[in-house]
C-alpha cells in the first residue's frame, strides 16, 4: 500500500472545525462536503487539492468535535491519506471506519516536507519520502492496515453485516 | 486498578487492564441530531442494515440544531423521529437541552455505567461517576446494530485537585488551568480520574471539569471516589485555592493566561451557555455580577443559552431570566446555541467574543478571523459590563 501526491502542510492541533466548519454540517448534503474541506484552515484548499494528494501535519490532527463529516470531506476532496506526528482518537476511529489511512510519522513530518512537495507514503515500507528527505513511519496496528486495504471497517461490515467487522477480522 | 479499569472489567465480565482491546456492551448509547443523523445514513445507505439491538439503551437528544437551523436539519430530525418510532426507541428528548446535561439530569448516566455517546464531550458524565466515551456516527451505528464496540482500555492520568477556587475564581478557571497544565493533546488515548476535593464539589462544577477533559484529548474522565488512583500512569496536582481568573486566548483551548494579562481587549459579544457553563448557577452568577456592575456595556451583545429546559425553568422561577431580559440579554432556547457556529449568534469577521463554552478554535463560532476567549461566567459578566476584558478581582474584590 503506497500513496503519492502533492503535500498540503498544516500545523499542530488541526481540529475538525478547521477540517469542516460547523456551519456547513446541516447546510449541505453528506455528498457535498468535499467542496468545503479544510476551509476552516485554508479557504482555497478545495480549489488547490487534487485526487491523491496527501495532508501532512503536526501533533493531534483531527482533535475537537466527533463529526464524522471531517473524514468524509477529506475523502471527497480527493485526499488519499494523512501523515502527522499524532492523531486525535475519535478522528482516528472515524477514519478507520471510512478507510482513510492515517499514518503517524516518527517525528514531525514537516521537518522533511514543504507545502506543495510531491511525496510518497509507503505504508508497507514504513517511510515517507519527499524531495528534501525522508522520515520513518510508525508501524500501524495490523487490524488498521487490513481495514484500510478493505476500504474501511464500514465497507467490511457491509459485505458481512451479520457480525461486527472487528469480530469477523479475528477469523480472517 | 483504576476506576476505568474496574468499570471495563465489570462490563466485560473478566479482569481487564490498560492496553487491552475489549469488545464491550455499553449501558447507554447516546446519539444527537448530528451524530444520530450520520448513524442513520450509515445504516441505510452504507451498511445496508437498519436494526437496533437494544432500543432501551438508546437515548436520542436534539440539541445541536434546535430549533432547526436549516431545511436539511429539519428533514434529518424528522427522519430521526420516524426512526425512533419504528425501532421502539422511547428515550427521546427533543428541544430539552444539551445531550450531556440530559444524560445526567434524567439519570441515564450514573456511577459505574458505561456510556457511549456520539459526541466528543461525552466524558462530561464522569461527574456522576459514569465512564463516558465519545465516538463518531459510524461507531454509533455499529453500537446500535451490534450492541457493542471495540475499545482499548485507556491508561489513567490522576488529576488531584486541592481545595476549592476562591471567588471570583470558579470551577471553570480550575478546568482551564487543568487544560493548560496537560496541554491540548496531552491526555490523548488516556483517561483522567479526578481525586481530591472534587468529589465534594457541586454537580455543575464537576461537570464543567469533566467537560474540559475532552480538550486535552482524554478518552474519558471520571470523578473518582478514591483517595488515590492505584495504577495511574502519572499524577497532576492543581491547587484550586490559588487559581486566578483566567481565559483561553483565541485559537487554542490550552493557551491559558490570567485575565490580568489580556486586560483591555475590546469585546463585542458574550455567550453564556453550553454543556460547560449553561446551568442555572452559571446564569444566576452571570446575572448577579452584571447587575452589580451596573449592567452591560452598550456595544456588547449578549446571548444566554440554558443547558436544559430544567435549568431554564429554575432561572425563570427565581427571576434570573427576567433580570437578564431587562438588561437586554437575549435568552435563547436550551441547546448548544452558537457554540458550534451554526446559529443563534454566529460571529462575524471583526467580532471578539467571551464565551463560557469549551472551544475557541479558529472559525468555531463563525468567521475564522473572529476571536473567542473562553472564560468563566464571572469573567464573562465583567467583560459584558466593561466592554473589555478585565480582571474580576479588580472590580469585585477577592
- Over the stretch B298-324, which tens digit does the pLDDT of each residue have? 999 999 999 999 999 999 999 999 999
Residues of chain A contacting B66 with CB distance shorter than 8 Å: none
Residue A23 falls inside a structural domain: yes
- Nearest-neighbour CA in chain B from A41: distance (Å): 8
Question: Between B146, B184, B342, which is nearest A26 by CB?
Answer: B342
Among chain A residues, the shortest Cα distance to B137 is held by A68
Answer yes or no: are the C-beta atoms of B21 and B242 closer than 8 Å. no
Kindly identify which residue of chain A lies nearest to residue B117, measuring between CA atoms: A66
pLDDT of residue A170: 52
Do residue A22 and residue B47 have CB atoms under 8 angstroms apart?
no
Q: Residue B269, preceding bond cis, omega within 30 degrees?
A: no
Closest approach of chain B CAs to the CA of A130, in angstroms?
27
CB atoms A90 and B340 under 8 Å: no
pLDDT for B86 equals 98
Average pLDDT over residues A72-82: 98
Q: What is the pLDDT of residue A167?
A: 85
Confidence of residue A161 (pLDDT cuts 50, 70, 90): very high
In a domain, A152, yes or no: no
pLDDT of B225: 83
Q: How far is A98 from chain B (nearest CA, A)?
A: 8
**Which CATH number covers residue A27?**
3.20.19.10
In a domain, A158, yes or no: no
Number of separate domains in chain A = 1
Kindly tell me the sign of the dihedral angle through the C-alpha atoms of A46, A49, A50, A52: negative
The answer to whether B238 and B160 are in contact (CB under 8 A) is: yes
Whole-number pLDDT of residue A136? 98
- pLDDT, tens digit, for every residue of A146-158? 999 999 999 999 9
Q: Which three cell numbers stand for residue B74?
A: 429539519
User: What are the per-10-residue average pLDDT scores of chain B (398 residues)?
Assistant: 97 96 97 98 97 98 96 96 98 98 98 98 98 98 98 98 97 98 95 96 98 97 92 97 98 97 98 97 98 97 98 98 98 96 95 98 94 98 98 89
- Complex prediction ipTM: 0.96
Q: For residue A154, tell me if it sits in a domain.
A: no
Inside any domain, residue A156: no
**Res A69 pLDDT > 90:** yes
Residue A163 domain-assigned (yes or no): no
B105 to chain A, closest Cα gap in Å: 23
User: Which residue segment(s) compose the domain that A66 sits in?
Assistant: 2-140
Q: Is B138 exposed, middle or buried (0-12, 13-18, 19+ CB in 10 A)?
A: buried
A97·B46 Cβ contact <8 A? no
All 3 cell numbers of residue B13? 465480565
Residue A37 lies in a domain: yes
- pLDDT confidence of residue B148: 97
Note whether residue A110 is domain-resident: yes
- Partner residue opposite A90 with nearest CB, options B49, B69, B134: B134
Instruction: Supply the pLDDT for residue A172.
Output: 39
Identify the structural domains of chain B with CATH numbers, from first to last.
21-152 (3.30.499.10), 156-242 (3.40.1060.10), 247-391 (3.30.499.10)
Among A41, A89, A98, whose Cβ lies nearest the Cβ of B188? A89
Which grid coordinates belong to B234? 502519572
Q: With beta carbons less than 8 A apart as the criterion, state whether B275 and B211 touch.
A: yes
Q: How far is CA B240 from CA A24, B159, B181, B215, B377, in A?
A: 39, 12, 13, 19, 17
Tell me B167's DSSP state: T
B362 and A94 within 8 Å at the Cβ level: the answer is no
Instruction: Give the pLDDT of residue A171.
Output: 41
Amino acid at each position: 500500500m503506497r500513496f503519492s501526491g502533492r503535500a498540503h502542510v498544516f500545523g499542530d492541533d488541526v481540529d475538525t472545525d478547521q477540517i469542516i466548519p460547523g456551519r456547513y454540517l446541516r447546510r449541505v448534503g453528506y455528498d457535498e462536503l468535499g467542496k468545503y474541506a479544510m476551509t476552516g484552515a485554508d479557504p482555497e484548499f478545495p480549489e488547490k487539492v487534487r485526487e491523491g494528494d496527501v495532508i501532512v501535519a503536526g501533533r493531534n490532527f483531527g482533535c475537537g468535535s466527533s463529526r464524522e463529516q471531517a473524514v468524509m470531506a477529506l475523502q471527497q476532496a480527493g485526499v488519499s491519506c494523512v501523515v502527522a506526528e499524532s492523531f486525535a482518537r475519535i478522528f482516528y476511529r472515524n477514519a478507520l471506519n471510512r478507510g482513510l489511512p492515517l499514518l503517524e510519522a516518527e517525528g514531525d513530518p514537516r521537518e522533511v516536507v514543504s507545502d506543495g512537495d510531491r511525496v510518497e507514503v509507503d505504508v508497507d515500507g514504513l517511510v515517507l519520502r519527499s524531495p528534501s528527505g525522508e522520515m520513518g513511519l510508525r508501524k500501524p496496528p495490523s487490524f488498521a492496515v487490513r481495514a484500510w486495504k478493505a476500504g474501511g471497517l464500514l465497507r467490511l461490515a457491509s459485505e458481512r453485516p451479520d457480525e461486527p467487522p472487528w469480530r469477523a477480522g479475528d477469523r480472517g | 486498578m483504576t476506576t476505568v479499569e474496574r468499570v471495563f472489567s465489570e462490563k466485560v465480565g473478566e479482569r481487564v487492564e490498560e492496553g487491552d482491546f475489549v469488545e464491550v456492551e455499553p449501558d447507554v448509547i447516546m446519539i444527537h441530531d448530528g451524530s444520530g443523523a450520520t448513524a442513520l445514513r450509515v445504516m441505510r445507505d452504507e451498511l445496508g442494515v437498519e436494526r437496533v439491538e437494544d432500543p432501551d439503551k438508546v437515548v436520542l437528544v436534539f440539541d445541536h440544531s434546535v430549533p432547526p437551523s436549516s431545511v436539511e436539519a429539519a428533514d434529518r430530525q424528522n427522519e430521526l423521529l420516524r426512526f425512533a418510532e419504528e425501532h421502539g426507541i422511547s428515550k427521546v428528548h427533543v428541544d430539552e437541552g444539551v445531550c450531556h446535561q440530559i444524560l445526567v439530569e434524567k439519570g441515564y448516566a450514573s456511577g459505574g455505567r458505561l456510556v457511549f455517546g456520539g459526541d466528543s464531550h461525552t466524558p462530561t458524565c464522569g461527574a456522576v461517576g459514569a465512564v463516558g466515551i465519545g465516538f463518531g456516527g459510524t461507531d454509533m451505528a455499529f453500537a446500535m446494530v451490534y450492541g457493542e464496540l471495540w475499545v482499548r482500555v485507556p491508561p489513567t492520568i490522576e488529576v488531584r485537585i486541592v481545595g476549592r477556587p476562591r471567588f471570583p475564581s470558579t470551577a471553570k478557571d480550575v478546568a482551564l488551568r487543568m487544560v493548560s497544565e496537560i496541554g491540548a493533546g496531552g491526555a490523548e488515548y488516556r483517561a483522567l480520574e479526578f481525586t481530591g476535593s472534587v468529589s465534594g464539589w457541586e454537580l455543575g462544577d464537576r461537570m464543567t471539569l469533566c467537560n474540559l477533559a475532552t480538550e486535552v484529548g482524554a478518552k474519558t474522565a471520571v470523578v473518582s471516589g478514591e483517595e488515590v488512583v492505584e495504577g495511574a500512569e502519572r499524577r497532576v496536582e492543581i491547587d484550586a485555592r490559588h487559581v486566578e481568573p483566567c481565559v483561553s486566548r483565541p485559537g487554542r483551548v490550552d493557551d491559558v493566561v490570567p485575565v490580568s494579562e489580556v486586560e483591555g481587549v475590546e469585546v463585542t459579544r458574550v455567550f453564556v451557555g453550553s454543556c460547560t457553563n449553561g446551568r442555572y448557577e452559571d446564569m444566576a452568577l452571570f446575572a448577579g455580577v452584571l447587575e452589580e456592575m451596573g449592567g452591560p456595556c452598550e456595544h456588547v451583545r449578549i446571548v444566554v443559552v440554558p443547558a436544559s429546559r430544567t435549568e431554564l425553568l429554575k432561572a425563570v422561577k427565581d427571576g434570573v431570566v427576567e433580570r437578564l431580559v431587562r438588561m437586554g440579554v437575549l435568552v435563547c432556547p436550551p441547546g448548544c446555541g452558537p457554540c458550534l457556529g451554526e446559529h443563534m449568534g454566529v460571529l462575524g469577521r471583526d467580532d471578539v467574543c467571551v464565551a463560557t463554552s469549551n472551544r475557541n478554535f479558529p472559525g468555531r463560532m463563525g468567521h475564522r478571523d473572529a476571536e473567542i476567549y473562553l472564560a468563566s461566567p464571572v469573567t464573562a459578566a465583567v467583560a459584558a459590563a466593561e466592554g473589555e476584558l478585565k480582571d474580576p478581582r479588580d472590580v469585585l474584590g477577592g
